[in-house]
Amino acid sequence: MAVTHATTSTAFRAERIDTESKWYDLFQKGVELGTWDVEKLFDEVGFEADREILASLEPAERTQIRYLLSGFLDGEFAVGEDASHHLQRIAGAPCFDDNEEMEMYMTMFTLTEHKHTQFIDVYMHEVLGEQDAFADLNPKRGGARVPIVQATGLGDVYDRQGQLTARAAHSTDPVDIAKALTVYHMIVEGLLARGGFYSINKLSGNAPLPLLNHGFKFISTDEGRHITHGVEALSELIEKERAGEPEFQGVSRAIVDVLYENVASIADFGYMFTDAVDDPLEIGFDDLLLRVGRLIDGQFNEALDLDVDHHRVVGLVADRHQECLETDVDDAVREYRKLYRRKRAADGGRDDD
Ligand SMILES: [Fe+2]
Ligand SMILES: [Fe+2]
């Protein structure tokens, strides 16, 4: 395969656990690197410097940061939930070798996703102030989505991730699993989250927020391991397909199809914090797209050795971007807020109108 993940040369051997498995290696890396303590980070760095810098920014600049973090808040919550409910079961599917070690790794994986939600949720509340995130609505799913996430359509990709991971967890069919892991690891983590990290790095030139940058350094390191896990798991399925195993036929096709079906979500996410808010912190939608284009080549063509049609991808994202430009997102945000408030009133919840 094109991808081989170097395993650490652990000196330890065991009886039930294969300490030479690549999943064991990722588990151990997760234990070493993924146990950063969110509350300790808050104590050590504190909120004050970030609050002061944010207070010195223009309102439009603050909005841009809030929108960017809103995409992460809903995204991290969704991946944490789908990891807990579905990925853990997928790791036990018969189509994978080394299930024990993969299941061990998934516990670290899920823990880090919940910590990402913890960091972003507390940060937004403590630093940006109460945003009315409608958390009282739909409490089983951590609250209704942030209105801007719904208004741009970004929420749809999180819904599809939920549907595809649920289906794969129940069927344990290799083609269903390939679809689920593609939307989860390759699109949401590999393209959306990485595009978001790129944007946070870029805006830190104009708004150097120490706590935010610290937290996201940890989050992006964690996500690097998650994407490695996704590439390894998909490579294993592709390898079995190419070896001619009947139940794996269709895996490569499914991966590429899921990319085409979901890649336009890049435009939804980018629109939220670039053009929609006039990009005061100068992140630049075109630069973001170039970066994402390189990521697609790296993940799909190089790492997975597939054949993605670059022009088709660019066309899909450009078309969706055009649709976003023609939509009144501010108006859609107001509509979602109204809808949520009506639902809150109907639920007999708090009345803040
Ligand atoms: Fe995450
Ligand atoms: Fe992740």
CA 291 to ligand 2 centroid distance, Å: 19
Distance between CA atoms of residues 23 and 7, nearest Å: 9
pLDDT digits (tens, 9 = 90+) for 82-106: 999 999 999 999 999 989 999 999 9
With bands split at pLDDT 50, 70 and 90, how would you rate the model's confidence at 143? low
CA 70 to ligand 1 centroid distance, Å: 13
CA 222 to ligand 1 centroid distance, Å: 7
Q: For the chain, give the percent of residues with pLDDT over 70.
A: 92
CA 342 to ligand 2 centroid distance, Å: 34
Q: What is the pLDDT of residue 2?
A: 41
CA 145 to ligand 1 centroid distance, Å: 17
CA 243 to ligand 1 centroid distance, Å: 33
Q: What is the pLDDT of residue 140?
A: 62
Does residue 297 come out as left (phi exceeding 0), alpha (psi in the -120 to 50 range) or beta?
alpha
Q: What is the pLDDT of residue 34?
A: 74
For residue 198, pLDDT over 80 is answered with yes
What's the rounded mean pLDDT across residues 213-232?
Answer: 95
CA 117 to ligand 1 centroid distance, Å: 7
For residue 244, pLDDT over 90 is answered with yes
For residue 267, pLDDT over 80 is answered with yes
pLDDT digits (tens, 9 = 90+) for 316-331: 999 999 998 888 888 8
- The number of CA neighbours under 13 Å toward the Cβ of 115 is 25
CA 265 to ligand 2 centroid distance, Å: 17
Q: What is the pLDDT of residue 39?
A: 97
Q: What is the pLDDT of residue 277?
A: 81
CA 34 to ligand 1 centroid distance, Å: 11
CA 56 to ligand 1 centroid distance, Å: 29
Which ligand ends up closest to the CA of 76?
1
Say whether 71 sits in a helix, a strand or coil: helix
Q: What's the DSSP call for residue 37?
A: -
Which ligand ends up closest to the CA of 188?
2
Q: What is the pLDDT of residue 8?
A: 52
CA 342 to ligand 1 centroid distance, Å: 32
Axis crossing angle, helix 310-325 with helix 285-296, rounded to the nearest 10: 150
Q: What is the pLDDT of residue 112?
A: 94
Q: Which of 88, 114, 102 is nearest to 35 (CA)?
A: 114
CA 334 to ligand 2 centroid distance, Å: 31
What type of residue is 119?
A: F
**What domains are defined for the chain?**
22-346 (1.10.620.20)
Q: What is the pLDDT of residue 353?
A: 45
Is residue 189 within 8 Å of residue 79, measured between CB atoms? yes
Axis crossing angle, helix 48-56 with helix 210-242, rounded to the nearest 10: 100
Q: What is the pLDDT of residue 304?
A: 97
With bands split at pLDDT 50, 70 and 90, how would you rate the model's confidence at 7? very low
Which ligand ends up closest to the CA of 215?
1
Which ligand ends up closest to the CA of 74?
1
Q: What is the pLDDT of residue 181?
A: 98
Q: Where are the beta strands (DSSP E) in 139-261?
A: none
Helix %, strand %, coil % of the chain (to 5): 75, 0, 25
CA 285 to ligand 2 centroid distance, Å: 23
